[in-house]
Amino acid sequence: MWMSEIGKRCKTDLTIEDIPKKKLLTFKKGDTFSKIINSMFDNKARKIFLEGTTKYLSDSYLLKQLQRR
């Protein structure tokens, strides 16, 4: 069954506006490692974006970097 067929059968009043929006978590170039990690833990985030860019750090990348040391 195609997704469009499922959509035709599903009746709801749900709109895009009803889906909760999560603010992007960001960090600045000068932030310390501990500040970044604490921010991720406090916000239960798996990614944190470099402010003003599309570049980000993920929890798995950070863990891999810690394992190398």
- Residue 49 in any domain: the answer is yes
Asked whether residue 11 is domain-assigned, the answer is no
What's the pLDDT score for residue 53? 94
Q: Is residue 64 domain-resident?
A: yes
* Number of domains the chain is built from: 1
Please state the pTM of the whole predicted model.
0.64
Taking only the tens of pLDDT, the chain with its 69 residues reads 455 555 566 677 777 777 777 788 999 999 999 999 999 999 999 999 999 999 999 999 998 988 887
Which of 24, 21, 22 minimizes the C-alpha distance to 53? Answer: 24
| 6 inside domain | no
Is residue 59 in some structural domain? Answer: yes
pLDDT for the residue numbered 46? 94
In terms of residue numbers, what domain contains 38?
16-68
